[in-house]
Amino acid sequence: MLSLLTVLAGCASAVTPLGRSLPEQPAFAQIVQVSPAQAGESCYISYDRQKSGRERANSIIVKYNNWYAGVRKNYSAKDAAR
């Protein structure tokens, strides 16, 4: 009986959970602002501005996906090391 209480006493000890937090948001993860077409503005100028905004937004999405894949890889490596 005494040995059983000794074993169970270890179960009551406070275990501090591991604290992990995600890294800060990367600098490239910014909202892309593209101004709308102005009255009397050439459609080619408006198109170029919209196209460059989409290209920048897509670049941010690709970079963010690559960053997140690295975060997931590092977290899974930490879990596997336990």
- Fill in the amino acid letter for 42: S
Domain range holding 81? 57-82
Cβ-count burial of 4 within 10 angstroms (0-12 exposed, 13-18 middle, 19+ buried)? exposed
Do the domain assignments include residue 67?
A: yes
The answer to whether position 33 is within a domain reads: no
Q: Are 67 and 26 in contact (CB under 8 A)?
A: yes
Cβ neighbours around 56 below 10 Å, total: 15
Q: pTM for the complete prediction?
A: 0.55
Q: Residue 64 pLDDT more than 70?
A: yes
Query: What are 10-60's pLDDT values in tens digits?
Result: 555 566 656 666 677 777 777 788 888 889 999 999 999 999 999 999 999
In the chain, how many domains are there?
1
Q: What share of the chain is helix, strand, coil (3-state, %, to 5)?
A: 60, 0, 40
Q: Is residue 70 part of a domain?
A: yes
- DSSP category for residue 20: -
Q: Closest by alpha carbon to 26, among 51, 75, 59, 54? A: 59
